[in-house]
């Protein structure tokens, strides 16, 4: 998750955007600034998940801040609440995605939170938690953005099941050789609250996995 934007930055950019309605960027600098504004708007939409009834309050705060009016709240007093609001909204988005995924026909949700859905049945043996397996996989975030994919690399991966995230250890054991399945992993059985590399903290991960072989 990205660091929430400061109230001052949000206010400045959004109020300028409102006052500049209809202005079309022409120079490279203007286009760069326009792109920066669009990027900020995308972040706000992503982080705050605003409802239509909430937008007027944010817009009023933006306008009042830029115009230098006396504010009815002290911004430093609310920074912690702003961060918590973003965290709460992000958690709600995560839970909605997981609940909808678990409700699909054929999906199974285990006690750990893993959501398993078989896409193609296999007929071979099943691995154990200590098996070394050969798989093809395609990993995305809930929005469809790819973060890792042996399929795109064109080369299967081989690894021990007890050396990967627990979502995989549990999920791949449900598969027979030849099976293709979708594994949806809550952050608690993926990379946790810290994240890892290009995977942000508290990320829900979606994998399409095909078990090609049990190496040993």
Q: Which residues are catalytic?
A: 137, 147-148, 165, 191, 207
> For residues 95 and 99, what is the distance between their CA atoms, to the nearest angstrom?
6
Secondary structure percentages of the chain, helix, strand, coil, to 5: 40, 20, 40
Q: Are 93 and 187 in contact (CB under 8 A)?
A: no
The secondary structure of 78-142 as a DSSP string is HHHHHHHHHHHHHHHHHHHHHHHHHTSTTEEE-TT--EEEEEE---SPPP-TT-EEEEEEEEE-T
Picking from 60, 61, 59, the residue whose alpha carbon sits closest to that of residue 78 is 61
Q: Are 114 and 167 in contact (CB under 8 A)?
A: yes
Q: In this structure, what DSSP letter does residue 30 have?
A: H
């Amino acid at each position: 998750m990205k660091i929430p934007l400061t109230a001052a930055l949000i206010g400045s950019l959004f109020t300028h955007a409102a006052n500049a309605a209809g202005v079309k960027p022409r120079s490279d600098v203007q286009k760069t600034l326009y792109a920066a504004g669009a990027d900020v708007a995308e972040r706000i939409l992503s982080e705050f998940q605003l409802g239509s009834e909430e937008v007027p309050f944010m817009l009023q705060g933006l306008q009042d801040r830029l115009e230098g009016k006396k504010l009815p709240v002290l911004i430093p007093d609310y920074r912690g609440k702003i961060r918590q609001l973003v965290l709460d909204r992000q958690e709600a988005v995560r839970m909605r995605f997981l609940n909808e995924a678990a409700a699909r026909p054929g999906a199974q949700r285990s006690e750990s939170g893993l959501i398993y859905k078989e896409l193609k049945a296999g007929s071979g043996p099943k691995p154990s938690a200590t098996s070394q397996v050969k798989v093809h996989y395609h990993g995305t975030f809930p929005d469809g953005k790819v973060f890792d994919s042996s399929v795109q690399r064109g080369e299967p991966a081989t690894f021990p099941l007890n050396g990967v995230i627990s979502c995989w250890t549990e999920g791949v054991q449900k598969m027979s050789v030849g099976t293709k399945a979708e594994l949806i992993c809550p952050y608690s059985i993926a990379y946790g609250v810290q994240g890892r590399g290009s995977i942000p903290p508290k990320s829900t991960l979606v994998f399409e996995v095909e078990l090609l072989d049990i190496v040993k």
